[in-house]
Chains A and B, each alone.
Chain A
Amino acid sequence: MKNLKLVSGYLFSALLLIACSKNDVPGNGEGVYNNPVLSGTYIQEDQMGRPAVNTVFVSSSSKDEFNRTTPDNQGNAFQGMFEANLLALSPAYANGGLNALGMDATTFTTVLATDVLNVSLDGTTTFYDGTNLLTGRALADDVITVELLLIFGGEDFTEYPALSNDHVDENDKPFLTSFPYLASPW
């Protein structure tokens, strides 16, 4: 009887230990009492897909609203505003003008108004490298010149040359080839 109690006690202790180790010990050797509580409800304040989209195409009074509209609803809510602002900003789309992708103002702003970045899982990732288009965004991509060319450059990138290239073509520090890729701070 005494033995049985002893065995039960051991068993109970062992179970307790197993239970503890399963539930309480976090990874990377961190102790349970250092484990923070992250739980809670987090509500959206800002969002971004493609570079410069909110800042260029959304009118001042609507910027917060744009940041709090889910991408699946952005097209319906904002395409008209995007088109009006594009036409006000660039003469290249007047009279049915197209950009180098063959898109008129309506088609181009329909793409842009849903502010997500398209990313390929199958190879080169770049905003535009002369060959690949919208397969990601790499650190060295000159996204502003690409966007200026699409806004002002017309059908063959030659319209309004003074407006379609800011002539800043690279970062002020070289990027790293390995994680975390971004250069150390100044």
Chain B
Amino acid sequence: MKNLKQILGIGILAVAGLIFVAADHIDAPAVQGGASDITDFYAFQGENTDNMVFVANLQGLLSPAATSAATFDEHVMIEFNIDNTGDNIEDLVIQAVPRQGKMYVIGPVAPSSPGLSSVLDVNSVNDAVFVDITGYGSEARISTKNNISVFAGPRDDPFFMDFAQYSEIIAGNASGFNNPGSDTFAGTNVMSVVVEVPKALIGGTGTINVWVESKRRQ
């Protein structure tokens, strides 16, 4: 009996490891459901094709009722990382830090040092673009400075997937997806940070490698 439990336990763990909770929604125990939990990341050419847009989404699966109370954590920095030399080490970062109802966005700028730790000094804020964090139910507040535009606040989760049916397949309860499928993320919101920057500030031409990180102030 003990052995069976152990085998079952291991089986469930193995299956859980393969279930993907959406793009990155609720992906790991240390950040699950918290203010530093990144749900998604997008990078695309702007309406002005000289610009690149970066989107970080956090705190997935917010119901409309939960969204009105959702906030950014003032201890959590959202950092867009840009490698424009092909070594998968960031050469530039764009750092967003919330404080007292505003989102302060620094960069693109060379990081104090690459890697898991980011240091902001007292002068970091001087060149920041800042924007009022948009309240739930309000028109989007946008700030633009030095051709860099920023937004922070609740948005519809742009991610779509029949995650429920995927879970049934992984659990062995279904042999395939339904057609049509059902969007598990329909009607849910996320907390978004959107930054649009001139391509000239992040390499100008060629291919870059980008990723987003959440970092907590110590």
A136 within 8 A of B: yes
Report the contact-size class of chain A (Cβ under 8 Å from the partner): 35 or more
Residues of chain A with a CB closer than 8 A to B124's CB: 38-39
Dominant secondary structure of chain A at its interface with chain B: loop
Q: Mark A137-178, 1 if CB is under 8 A from B, else 0.
A: 111001110000000000000000111011111111101011
Query: Measured between C-beta atoms, what is the minimum distance from B140 to chain A in Å?
Result: 6
Asked if A55 meets B218 with Cβ closer than 8 Å, knowing A26-B126, A172-B156, the reply is: no
Is B97's CB under 8 angstroms from A38's CB? yes
Question: B204 contacts which of A121, A135, A175, A184 (Cβ < 8 Å)?
Answer: A121
**B residues in contact with A47, CB < 8 Å:** 38, 211-214
Smallest Cβ distance from A66 to chain B, in angstroms? 7
Instruction: Identify which of A11-19, A27-35, A94-102 touches chain B.
Output: A27-35
Instruction: With A28-B145, A167-B180, A183-B155 as known contacts, state yes or no: A138 contacts B42, CB within 8 Å.
Output: yes
User: Do B206 and A121 touch (CB < 8 A)?
Assistant: yes
Q: A36 — which chain B residues lie within 8 A by C-beta?
A: 99-100, 102, 104, 125
Contacts of A60 in B (CB 8 A): 13, 16-17
Q: Which of A26, A173, A175, A182 contacts B192 (CB 8 A)?
A: A182
Q: Which residues of B contact A (CB under 8 A)?
A: 13-14, 16-25, 27-31, 36-38, 40-47, 52-53, 55, 62, 64, 67, 76-77, 79, 83, 87-89, 97, 99-100, 102, 104, 106, 114-122, 124-130, 136, 140, 142-143, 145, 149, 151, 154-156, 158-162, 165-166, 169, 175-183, 185-189, 192, 194, 196, 199, 202-218
A residues at B contact (CB < 8 Å): 26-28, 30, 35-49, 51-56, 58-61, 63-64, 66-68, 70-72, 85, 88-89, 114-126, 135-139, 142-144, 161-163, 165-173, 175, 177-186
A-B CB proximity, top 4 nearest: A162-B176, A55-B20, A63-B28, A42-B215
